[in-house]
Chain A
Amino acid sequence: MNPFTALRALAVFVLLVAAHFSLRPLLGGPAPIDFLCLAVLFAAVRVRPGMAAVIGFLSGLCLDSLSLSSFGPAALAFTAVAFGASWLKAVFFAENVALTALFVFFGKWSYDVVYVLISGGVPDGQVLVQVLLWSPLSAALTATVGLVLLVLARPIFGQRRSMNRR
């Protein structure tokens, strides 16, 4: 990854993180769009799995520091999801837009499942509803937004194959 491409990817990452803390509270709703997950996933597919794990860990740790009930589940979940995303991209080299949406969907859903199971912040009776209803809805919404962003920001991202170091 050349410095200019890395800078563009970093800008997109920062914008998505900012959107997570500004647009997401504005939109609200029971199935919110997870811009931070998008940022982690978009960054993870452009770096090696180890680096992706570090990005996921740091992002999750930041998220955990905002939560009073638990500390660490978001870090663990994002570490796993980011590493998995980076590794899967390295294996499949998927450039298809629909596959990317599917990738974001499963990435976000996996994060939610890991987070809910580890944090224990969701009441027992609500776990299934959260995992099987709200999380897929949120993941679908996030995937849709990710798809739109990917199409809009394609000039910024450039050719992904060229950005991948693998």
Chain B
Amino acid sequence: MASRNTRGSNRLDTGLLLVCCVLSVVALVLPDRLREPIATTVRRTVLAPLVTLQERAEMVRATIVSRNDELAVRGVAASRAVAAPALQDENDALRRLLGLAGRLRDGFVVAEAFHPAGLTDDFTLNVAAGSNVGVRRFTPVVTAEGLVGIVESVDAAMSVAITWAHPDFRVSAMSEDEAAVGIVQPHLVSGPERYLLELRGVPFRASLDSGTLVVSSGLGATFPRSVAIGTVISEIPTTERWARTYLLKPSVYPSALSAVVLLLPSRVEAGVASAWTDASAADSAARAIVAASDSAARQAALAELSARRAALEAAADSARADSMLTPLGPPPGVRAPSGAPPISRVPPDTLSPRIVPPPVQR
């Protein structure tokens, strides 16, 4: 009896299997016009809640994926927006450096410059070039805009340079037309003006206008002649009656440097001709064209200039008022200098006493 039941069950199972298989095969070979109504009916009845569930799950997944994509795109856009101006500036600097390299032709080394943040003061600069490529102590460090500083210590693959803002920095300088000579040194005051330069010891008869380009004179053989240093902002009132002192706006701000040019001794001896003066003239012309085309910018510049002049005049008045409190001229018993020193006695490039200039080999 049990065996018969089992046999019957087995037959039933086999039968059901065969029926299901046959129906599946029929479904497989069913033409589209018959297949679609069946599928639609199943979708709209049995599967309707499940299809809805699946649609919502797909939407949730799409939302998550799109959210991730959106965040990624936002991050990329933000990072590009942050990096774009810096990249633009760096590209411009590198292009100008390429122009300078073309004008110099040889006798120089291009190297990366970086600030040793947190390890030393703001007036030194690390340069990724050393004695391996011919860099020596007192090698001038320049960019396409002008003078940056001078190498003070040299390792095999790296050098440490002081910038023009270093208290020990000195360079013999002259106006572009060679009418005035003097010594350029940092403007050692507190506040933002600390990052300006002074041109000291200019003969009294040599008057410089605002905007005059000041370049290195080449005396002392440390710096070649005609490297741009800065432009005259104004004269600084001093107690010296036989010489003038001018405040200079530096051509280069070392804080934004990424690459520099090191002038090797051979290039210093050969000179740099008009590598900076021609370029600055071209830049001035370009700036003039741009400024002329932008009247709003021109008006703003004029307004700024007048404000600056007013401030300087006020400062000069204040200085004159102070000077009235003291007797004019040298104190009794002290003879005032008979006149300005001759132009031929231009003071050479100097550094602080602890930095000894290299011997001149010509």
Contacts and interface: CB of A to CB of B under 8 A. Distances in A.
Determine if chain A interacts with chain B: yes
B58 A73 contact: no
Contacts of A121: none
A17 interface: yes
| Secondary structure of the A contact surface, majority rule | helix
Given A72-B25, A73-B28, A79-B24, A26 B16 contact: no
Interface string A18-32: 100111111010000
B67 to A, nearest CB: 14
Contact of A64 (B27, B29, B40): B27
B314 interface: no
A71 B16 contact: no
A158 interface: no
B252 to A, nearest CB: 56
Contact of B51 (A54, A66, A70): A66
Given A49-B13, A66-B47, A57 B24 contact: yes
B61 A25 contact: yes
A118 B30 CA distance: 14
A21 B20 contact: no
B50 to A, nearest CB: 4
B39 interface: yes
10 closest Cβ pairs, A-B complex = A72-B27, A50-B13, A50-B16, A72-B28, A76-B24, A57-B20, A65-B39, A65-B42, A25-B57, A75-B24
12 contacts: A25-B57, A50-B14, A50-B15, A62-B46, A62-B50, A70-B28, A71-B30, A71-B39, A75-B27, A76-B21, A79-B21, A83-B17
Given A25-B54, A60-B24, A62-B46, 10 more contacts: A18-B53, A21-B50, A21-B57, A22-B53, A28-B61, A53-B17, A54-B20, A71-B35, A71-B39, A72-B25
